[in-house]
Amino acid sequence: MSTPPTPAAAPDRLEIAGLKVEVEGKQILCGIDLALPPGEVHALMGPNGSGKSTLANTIMGHPKYQVTGGSIDWRGESLLGLTPDQRARQGIFLSLQYPTAIPGVSLVNFLRAALRGLGREMPAREFLGTVKQELRTLKMDQAFLSRYINDNFSGGEKKRMEILQLAVLQPKLAILDETDSGLDVDALRTVAEGVNRVRSEDMGVLIITHYQRILDYVTPDRVHVMAAGRVIESGGAELVARIEREGYDSMLRAAGLETEPAEEEAVAAGAPGA
Ligand SMILES: Nc1ncnc2c1ncn2[C@@H]1O[C@H](COP(=O)(O)OP(=O)(O)OP(=O)(O)O)[C@@H](O)[C@H]1O
Ligand SMILES: [Mg+2]
């Protein structure tokens, strides 16, 4: 039986439109529009609780997040209805804000299984060589090879582990949920270099972050600001500096969102400085 010719692959484009999501009956995302063209790096910022992780988890297909409206298309086809592992096989990767430990599963076995799951098994020698090289690049001890995934890893080590996975698995779309949080200055630079190394015309990246620092190293093509389950502002890299300078207040007001009443009361009451 001859295999039919493979149709030309659609571009690796993520297109989110009018996305509404509920978690345990509570509406968290209220109509998100966001497009990530192939090979672009976009930053997603916004106050705590605005829904950034919810969006990331929903793209990956976490069962806790219920899509009640809108669409998520990847390569021109809907991701809704696909399981997280099917989405991973389509080249989507999520680096978790809080990576979980998997006691009993070594880094080597984990990465091999992950590659196998993606249908990209490598000969043992070549595989080990790749992982060792990545560990060196990330300035991580080779002892990590045999340690259990994230088991008793420090915060920064867990984040570097996420970049190691990214480098080995080479997804087409990488979503990094606060991969820069809790990193020391050197580790931040190492992780940013890691992202720059794997970032290519071939891989889109969505960087969720609270800080300008990582974006000093990895310059985003676009920046989006989320608040109250919506994207309230999008712009170029200059938006990052504006946020650093002014905070979110003016954007929240422009979007018709109240800023923290407690804060305003404190200001009105002339809260004494420390
Ligand atoms: N099971 C749940 N029940 C009710 N509310 C929830 C549930 N899970 C998440 N939320 C709420 O959804 C909102 C969005 O959370 P999310 O983690 O997406 O925010 P975030 O933008 O990633 O914040 P951060 O910057 O602090 O990581 C929060 O207000 C959170 O309390
Ligand atoms: Mg979050």
Topology given in CATH for the domain delimited by 14-257: Rossmann fold (3.40.50)
- Hey, what are 268's tokens? 């009105």
Rounded Cα distance between 99 and 120, Å, is: 24
At position 246, the amino acid (one-letter code) is: E
Nearest residue (by CA) to ligand 1, atom 24, is 48
Closest-approaching ligand to the CA atom of 29: 1
Please give the helix or strand (H or E) that residue 77 lies within, else none: strand 77-78
pLDDT band of residue 273 (cuts 50, 70, 90) is very low
Q: What are phi and psi of 139, to 5 degrees?
A: 55, 45
Residue 21's nearest CA partner among 77, 61, 75 is 61
pLDDT > 90 in the chain, percent: 60
- Integer Rg of the chain from CA: 20
pTM exceeds 0.85: yes
pLDDT band of residue 3 (cuts 50, 70, 90) is low
User: Integer distance in angstroms from the first to the last C-alpha of the chain?
Assistant: 77
Q: What is the pLDDT of residues 81-140, one digit of tens each?
A: 999 999 999 999 999 888 888 889 999 999 999 999 888 888 999 999 999 998 998 888
Closest ligand 1 atom to residue 97 Cα is 27
Rounded Cα distance between 95 and 102, Å, is: 15
Q: What is the pLDDT of residues 142-175, one digit of tens each?
A: 999 889 999 999 888 888 888 899 889 989 999 9
- Residue 274: the pLDDT is 37
Nearest residue (by CA) to ligand 1, atom 31, is 49
- Hey, what are 198's tokens? 């794997």
| Beta partners for residue 153, in sequence order | none
Residues with C-beta less than 6 Å from any ligand 1 atom? 23-24, 26, 28, 46, 48-54, 97
Q: What is the pLDDT of residues 45-65, one digit of tens each?
A: 999 999 999 999 999 999 999
Nearest residue (by CA) to ligand 1, atom 28, is 49
For residue 28, the SS3 value is strand
Q: Are 223 and 45 in contact (CB under 8 A)?
A: yes
Tell me which DSSP letter residue 111 carries. Answer: H
Averaged pLDDT score across all residues of the chain: 89
Q: What are phi and psi of 45, to 5 degrees?
A: -120, 180
Closest ligand 1 atom to residue 28 Cα is 12
User: Given strand 92-95, what is the order of strands in its sheet?
Assistant: 92-95, 173-177, 204-208, 41-45, 222-227, 230-235
- Hey, what are 142's tokens? 């080779």
